[in-house]
Chain A
Amino acid sequence: MFLLADYDFKANLHIFRFQKTNIVMDVNSGAIHLVDDVAYALLENLTACQGDLERAAALCEGKFPSEQVAEAVREIKAAYEEESLFTKDEDIDFDWLEIPVKALCLNIAHTCNMRCTYCFAEQGNFGLREALMSAATGRQALDFLIARSQGIKHLEVDFFGGEPLLNLDMMKEMVRYGREKEISAGKKFNFTLTTNALLLDSKVMDWVIENDISVILSLDGREEVNDRHRILADGQGSYGKIVPHIKEMVARNPVSYYVRGTFTRNNLDFSNDLKHLIELGFDAISLEPAVGQNDLAIKQEDLPRVLEEYERLTLLLLDYYKKGNRIQFFHYDLNLQQGPCIAKRCSGCGAGCEYLVVTPGGDIYPCHQFIGEDGFYMGNVSDGKIDRKIVDRFRHNRLKDKECRFCWARYFCGGGCHAAALHAGGDMSTPDRVACTMQQKRIENAIYLDFMKRSK
């Protein structure tokens, strides 16, 4: 029987149109359908009529041939019976207090050799004392991770900062130590280096390749865009110095890489920066909006322009695809048929629970964006204890605890960034609306692009 009077259509069904393609997302099953204009109208009416299919069909009369409306009604009912439309939300509850820690961000350098104007780390040291992590603290951090990972085999360590290449010898020791411990502990480390590439010389590249390090290489796009914000200590732009390093690193075929740029209010035409990065020869690219309470972060009033630009970017990627150029754009890289399970999707980024950051002094915080923040210090790797009250705070800030549970994008977004919410509105449990809007647009566009690629 078709009974949907109590169904929350807004939260569980997302219908949108892009480039004359009608897409329907059944949020709780993960099913996605392409529909014609008849079915599109019918589903829109069904939402407006709160599940009254008869009335929804009646509203279509005169706009479409009756026979087609009747057919579409039958197909909707069939999809409902097959559980690919109007599926119910599942109640997932896991014990997050005992969640294993599986990922650490190691801030091995609270200092930087650049002065990027939008840096959320306040030019490398988060407003704290400049410091480099010692090998001893680093080993404690890896031991901490192994000890708290329970049965999880794949562990992640991200070398971050500041600029991690300012502490190269220590980082080499971390990888050596980690690989040694892998054997006895039965683990597999995925090491990632996020770097501004200034000190990325051929010897460092050799080490990266020999040790299977994944790399994130920071470059914002066009020279004038990059050099506006990614500046050296003397105020000069960095493009001329870093592009040759990044090109060489990518040419060496690292186990995984992304060229990662930040776009700000100053380059709302960022699809041109994507184009530039592609023309430089890169095929794995991430572009992220600048965040924080500063003049460069994307604001509410920028959104119409930004959303339009994401559309432009989508069509650009499609154009490249049609010409045989396979570009991996991070945010659009969705595995729609076999993505993460519902448990993962409900738990989001895992900050404060399975993902933690360690400062040079060994202090533990919920993630890299909470370093030095009052009330978020969790402990130190020297004794391996963490403040359960803070774990609890993040445990109770997943998407089901927030208004995210009513958002159609929830299982792709995962509840958003806790830090962004806190910094935007003073309350970690209220998502940053600007970030939400961009996220929703990206998801819609990614789905469209995925469909278009399949149909070529």
Chain B
Amino acid sequence: MSKHIVTVVKPNLKRDAKDINCRECATSCQSACKTSCTVGNQTCKHS
């Protein structure tokens, strides 16, 4: 049991090649900004 390190978000960026690059998620600059690019706001449609 970890005392000094608590993982609150598990590793999630290393996915199988077949599970990435579908391009279905929203385009970030289409949304409520139009002046900042924030890809981190999008949710994977495969989640």
A351–B39 Cα gap in the complex (Å)? 12
The residue from A83, A105, A152, A345 contacting B39, defined by CB atoms under 8 A apart: A345
Contacts of A135 in B (CB 8 A): none
The residue from A31, A76, A411, A417 contacting B35, defined by CB atoms under 8 A apart: A417
B23 CB, nearest partner CB in chain A, Å: 5
A87–B28 Cα gap in the complex (Å)? 26
| Structural contact, A30 and B33, CB atoms closer than 8 A | no
| Structural contact, B41 and A39, CB atoms closer than 8 A | no
Closest to A367 in B: B29
| Structural contact, B45 and A154, CB atoms closer than 8 A | yes
| B window 14-35: CB within 8 A of A | 14-15, 19-35
Over the window 13-32 of chain A, the binary record of Cβ atoms lying under 8 Å from chain B Cβ atoms (1 yes, 0 no) is 00000000000101011111
A139–B43 Cα gap in the complex (Å)? 30
| Structural contact, A190 and B13, CB atoms closer than 8 A | no
A339–B34 Cα gap in the complex (Å)? 20
Closest to A416 in B: B37
**A75-B4, A152-B23, A152-B24 are contacts. A84–B11 as well, Cβ < 8 Å?**
yes
| Structural contact, A291 and B40, CB atoms closer than 8 A | no
Contacts of A39 in B (CB 8 A): 4-5
**A79-B5, A338-B12 are contacts. A348–B30 as well, Cβ < 8 Å?**
no
| Structural contact, A68 and B42, CB atoms closer than 8 A | no
The residue from A158, A288, A367 contacting B36, defined by CB atoms under 8 A apart: A288
| Structural contact, A355 and B21, CB atoms closer than 8 A | no
A34 within 8 A of B: yes
| Structural contact, A337 and B35, CB atoms closer than 8 A | no
B27 CB, nearest partner CB in chain A, Å: 4
| Structural contact, A68 and B4, CB atoms closer than 8 A | yes
The residue from B3, B7, B14, B47 contacting A90, defined by CB atoms under 8 A apart: B14
| Structural contact, A333 and B41, CB atoms closer than 8 A | yes
Contacts of B40 in A (CB 8 A): 334, 339-340, 345, 411-414, 443
| Structural contact, A156 and B27, CB atoms closer than 8 A | yes
A436–B44 Cα gap in the complex (Å)? 24
Contacts of B4 in A (CB 8 A): 35-36, 38-39, 68, 71-72, 75
| Structural contact, A29 and B13, CB atoms closer than 8 A | yes
A99–B13 Cα gap in the complex (Å)? 21
A115 within 8 A of B: no
The residue from B5, B20, B37, B45 contacting A35, defined by CB atoms under 8 A apart: B5
A49 within 8 A of B: no
| Structural contact, A348 and B37, CB atoms closer than 8 A | yes
The residue from A33, A342, A343 contacting B5, defined by CB atoms under 8 A apart: A33
Contacts of A168 in B (CB 8 A): none
A354 within 8 A of B: yes
A8 CB, nearest partner CB in chain B, Å: 17
Closest to A446 in B: B40
Query: Which of B15, B20, B21, B23 has most A Cβ within 10 Å?
Result: B23
Over the window 323-356 of chain A, the binary record of Cβ atoms lying under 8 Å from chain B Cβ atoms (1 yes, 0 no) is 0000000110111111111111101111100110
Listed A/B pairs (21) with beta-carbon separation below 8 Å: A31-B9, A32-B8, A35-B4, A38-B4, A39-B4, A87-B14, A94-B21, A152-B23, A154-B45, A156-B27, A192-B30, A288-B33, A330-B31, A331-B41, A341-B20, A342-B14, A345-B39, A412-B39, A414-B28, A416-B37, A417-B35
Not counting A156-B27, A288-B35, A349-B39, a sample of 4 additional A-B residue pairs whose C-beta atoms are within 8 angstroms of each other reads A71-B3, A71-B4, A72-B4, A348-B39
Q: Which 8 A-B pairs have the closest CB atoms?
A: A412-B40, A414-B39, A29-B11, A286-B32, A258-B32, A338-B47, A343-B21, A341-B20
